[in-house]
Amino acid sequence: MLLPSALLDTLLLLSVLGLVTTPSLLSLLLLLVLVLLLLLPGVLLLLVLVLLLLLLGVLLLLVLILLLLLLGVLLLLVLILLLLLLGMLLLLVLILLLLLLGVLLLLVLILLLLGMLLLLVLILLLLLPVMLLVGLTLVVLALCLCRMVLLFALLLLFRVGSSSDSEKQRQDGCAGDSNHFHKVLPPLLLR
């Protein structure tokens, strides 16, 4: 194995100055240099491995964090979209239920109106004979009242006509006028 030039220069400088005289010290230094040279690649390799492991750990941690963030964002988006979809479906179901209830209420109101109309028709049909009977009774009573008024008017008319000629009535008697009254009265009552 070859020694680096800086180490060789140092050893030459020490031997010229007379500081390094014993071969054991020189062999010790060479042994130290050899050990350092053997340890240096191991330490460098260890340092490189540790740095690579740290770099890989940081990269893995960054990848995991980015994946977790991406999964979190995706999960959040999926949850928001699901909640929006469920909200819209719930709103649609509520609107459809309200429309259905409105239509049912309208049908109930129409059925109630038809029931009231049917009840009114039944009441009118039940009251119609009673109203006709009452109306006919009132017409018959009005006709009877008219006949009575006409009878009293005729009685008053004949009485006034017969009382104006009282002297003639005393002479002839009442029989002539009463026959005339009976001839006129029956046709008037039959009308």
Per-residue model confidence as pLDDT tens digits over 26-73: 677 777 778 777 888 888 888 999 999 999 999 999 999 999 999 999
Report the chain's mean pLDDT, rounded to a whole number. 82
What does 149-189 look like in DSSP terms, one character per residue?
A: HHHHHHHHHHHHHHHHTHHHHHHH-SHHHHHHHHHHHHHHH
CA–CA dist 179, 172 (Å, integer) = 13
Q: What per-residue confidence (pLDDT) applies to 161?
A: 57
What values do phi and psi take at 110, rounded to 5? Answer: -65, -45
Quick: pLDDT tens for 132-172: 888 899 999 999 999 999 988 888 888 765 555 555 555 55
Q: What is the pLDDT of residues 75-124, one digit of tens each?
A: 999 999 999 999 999 999 999 999 999 999 999 999 999 999 999 999 98
Whether the per-residue pLDDT at 187 is higher than 90: the answer is no
